[in-house]
Structure 1
Amino acid sequence: MTKTVRKTSLACAVLLGLAAPSQAQEATILVLDGSRSMWGQIDGVNKIVIARDVVGSILSEIPSDRDLGLTVYGHRRSGDCSDIETIVEPSQNTRDQINAAVAAINPRGRTPMIDAVTAAAETLGYEDRPATVILVSDGVETCNADPCNAALALNEQGVDFTAHVVGFGVGDDPDALAQMQCIAENTGGIFAAAENADELTAALGRVTEAAPEVAAGFEVTFRALLAGAEETPFGDDIRWTIAGPEDVLEEGSGNPFSLELSAGSYVATAEDGEVTLSADFSVSDRAREVEIIFPSRTGEASIAGPVEVVAGSQVDVTWTGPDEDLDFIGIGRADAAGSAQWTNYAYTTTGNPVSLLVPPEPGDYVIRYFRGEGESAIASHALRVLAAEATVDAPEAAVAGDTIRVTWTGPAYPSDFIGIGQVGSEEAEQWDNFTYVREGSPLDLVLPTEPGDYVIQYFMNQETYSLVSVPIMLTPAAASLEAPSVAVVGETIPVGWSGPANKDDFVGIGKVDAEGSEQWLNYTFVREGNPLRLEVPTMPGEYVIRYFMGQDDTILAENQIAVAGASAVITAPTAAPAGEMVRIEWDGPGYPDDFIAIGPADAEGSDRWQTYAYTREGSPLEVEVPEAPGNYEIRYFLAQGNTELTSVPLRVE
């Protein structure tokens, strides 16, 4: 009987579209969603945690000589559509940088999805060379009114620009699906949806898969081994078939068997007369070995490993067994039944020994060998899981919005973090703000802006399991403002202030009844000094000057101000010869960068000025008359918003 088993790896063949050799190396940027919605959960795991794990696994498979970069949005500030950052410039050998950057993402902001794609395209120089952007997003665009047209513009302006889009955890949201599909279609890219970690891996593989050229390059040695045997019994009686994504490249016999391959993705198949096994593998920038493990001939299984480990750690498990399709080693509670017998698991195809992640809760567990067909356990090993210990030392009280120092001890597993949340909160609501323990001890923790009773906890990243918590009382933050009660449009006024002066706190001016980000038409960060210089908007009316906390845009103080209109007068000839200089007298606010301009009488927008001179040059001004005869207007513009105050007609002869 011949049994065919295909060994698959989580990251294998993903991003191999980057591995195709070509005359001009095409650069790629991964654009990752860092908005607050990435704290949402899938099967009890935060989406950002799933994305970190998948991207981390993928990066290990990417050849180091590929130009790859990373852009993230929504990861630094809430409510800011300009929060887009290219953290890693596209270059070779960027895998470690990207992995570290993704692991440090702290979702908190909005979703400027198409603007992030545009920023990545510009970084790649898409107008001059082929460029690819891979967007992973979990929500609808919240900043750009028309992402479809923006994507179409990128496609028209680029040399060979492509945007592939992966919708992660968007479910059946019609708006999100329509936008993402439109971005991909308008740039000739692929759209793929993913609702869990496996689907995310498959989707990334689909949008980035490409066929590598096959040419002489790096020597790959293939060996067939027998599970549990110290020496191979096969001799040279192994038939090998090596294939690329589309065609069989080489066939031959031997054990070992060697072949030269260029960088790319391949499948090796080994036959011993009874069993046929296949393994996916990739070649990057050096010679390598590929091993295929044949199951023991007896069909029995065994497991060996430690008898006592600390919760959350990694344990190496040595096994023997059939190693057939989808066989796996799992760890679960000793008294568990059904699928609860494996809280965590690893496929036997990943190697021997396999590395298992120990669950975070202490107690009696069993490691079992499970058959992929029927999921029956055929071997087991008892394991005692000891509690992981941690301590947290922080102030008992602090002002809301402040940054405090927290001292901690704990296991410091990858992505463990210290979080603060309101008393009684559950799941992801247990932390409003957090900092990874990899930042060291003590670390800085930003406090929420709402006063009340909170707890600071040490969380193991696995299942966001809390090891220890300490209470903290947050008292209200206070601020005050001192500013004029009246002003003229466009004027710059002094504003005195007192307040917490936290990072990114600012003073803004907006309409009385405005909401959201419309509460500040103009603003200045408090770090600019005291008093601040705040520019008044250009529309008359009733306004409010407010002190905002940079975190969550919380208002601490506000003063009302009445903004009166400004007037201007222009005295100039009613006609002038084309191309000559005309003398213009004016009277008006004369703010820095205000200007007098000449433009067509029926023009709009920036077409309203063809020639101009700044008012700071005095009155009268000399302004050049346009070359084309016709009806024009001489206009006085406030620099802020190019607001027009007055105009007089001019006939150009």
Structure 2
Amino acid sequence: MRIVRNFLLGAVAALGLAMPALAAERAIIVLDGSGSMWAQIEGKARITIARETLHEVLATLPGDLELGFMTYGHREKGNCDDIEMLIEPALDTGAAIAAAADEINPKGMTPISDAVRLAAEDLRFTEQKATVILITDGLETCEVDPCALASELESQGIDFTTHVLGFGLSDEEGQQVACLAENTGGKYLSANDGEALVEALTTTVAQVVQAEPEPAPEPEPEPVAEYNYKPTASLSEGGPDLANEGADLVWEWHTVAADGGKGEWVGTDYNSDFEGSLEPGDYIMTATMGYASSEQPVTIEAGKVAEPHFVLNGVYLKLRPLPSEGAAVDDDATVEIRNGGEYVTTSYGEVDLVVPAGALEVDVSIGEAKVTRSYDAKAGDTIGEDVIVGSGTAHIVSEYVAGTPVEADIFIEVVEAKANLEGERKSVAYTYGGDISFDLAEGDYVATYKLGGAKGEVPFSVETGERVEVPVVMDAGILAVTTPGDNFVEILSASKNLEGNRQSFDYGYGPSFQTTLAAGDYIVAAKVGDAVTETPVTIKGGERFELTVEAAAAGGKKK
């Protein structure tokens, strides 16, 4: 399988490499469109480098090359089904592919395996030669084993190859996706910048040409026998058969093991109108749609058509998570689905799934706000509703004084305003940052903050569907202390309590120690050798106070 050589003839010509004429072939480029493609290499985003490379490589293509273009992760966050064929394989698609790449806006997941599978199916890899060229800067994030997929595609394909170009991957990361190429007889090459990416593509072509000559034409395939296996499925007993439209059925069959259970995997196919041929014998067949499935033994007899029916015992679950009545669907909402207390799956944003019937529990969360829905779901039902989570947004901006924002990693924790019997307040959420937002259920809260030796709290309330601004104005400044060496420094209150002790606000070690303190008077205690220096300081809001501590006289204190 040598489709890659045709795909990159333009790049080879641009670099002055002579190439022999090759037979017409079909290929699909799969370009990573996940959020990590915004990462930069030497000040330039990876997606920008990829676009420029495609423009250069595809400037000249052979007239008999049918080339397509696919991407993933470019439309939605958290959606493993976000895969799209942008350009179907056809002649003279170089300019169209380059233009399509320019419009990709990376933002989502990295469903490498499913994208390669869909590209292979579009090329009809079980019927003819097919090559997929994957350019990725990340690893699979959708719980599918790319190595197992590659072996599956290789075993089913007529002449199938995947070439993988790892863009910006470490050696260890590259090993995790190289099997997609190695298990299908392809090449894995690594590139860390735009020049290396073009070179990797060109090298792939050169190696393929040098490795093997163009194979002799395959003999015409024998006519396919009529099918002897045509299964059907429904969601409920006595319910209508699932039609192909909207019925993403998966059929999988195994041999029967000695103990009567599943033996070796035989094959997998898709869609409700599937019909095919199997060798006569006994099998165990599984029909799956979404998260509902059914399994039964099936016997294939010579000269007969087996038409087993599967009852999936499933329901359609269609939920729209909304922060408030009339609001738009929150695409970042988390939806956890359980059946009879057993975990089924977690989805994001709008839910449109088939799940097992029974006692369903669904947790719908937007940020820290959560509601639970319970359904007594009967097979064949459709459960659909807008789920109002009842959340609002708290926007917390921290400032030393009004107009002077905090750019350091200030710790912000949101707690419930009401304390329990022990006087403790329940923690709701926390993070670091001077400009942050929390999605919270309607109610009363307190934002606590801590930065260095400065801490405090600000009460606020959240209403459903509303955004509340929570200003955290610390009235604080910065104290910077320089010591002769790595001396211990502690910041104490200027006054003592009734027991004669001073409150400790912060501590650290020299020669450079810096902390944030609320405006007021303090004592800077520094241990230099066997002596301790105590220096009074006054901190003013929005100002920086710099103190240099010198060594005190041996055996005493310097004040």
Same fold (TM over 0.5): no
TM-score bucket of the superposed structures, by smaller chain? 0.3 to 0.5
TM-score where L is the length of structure 1? 0.36
TM-score where L is the length of structure 2? 0.42
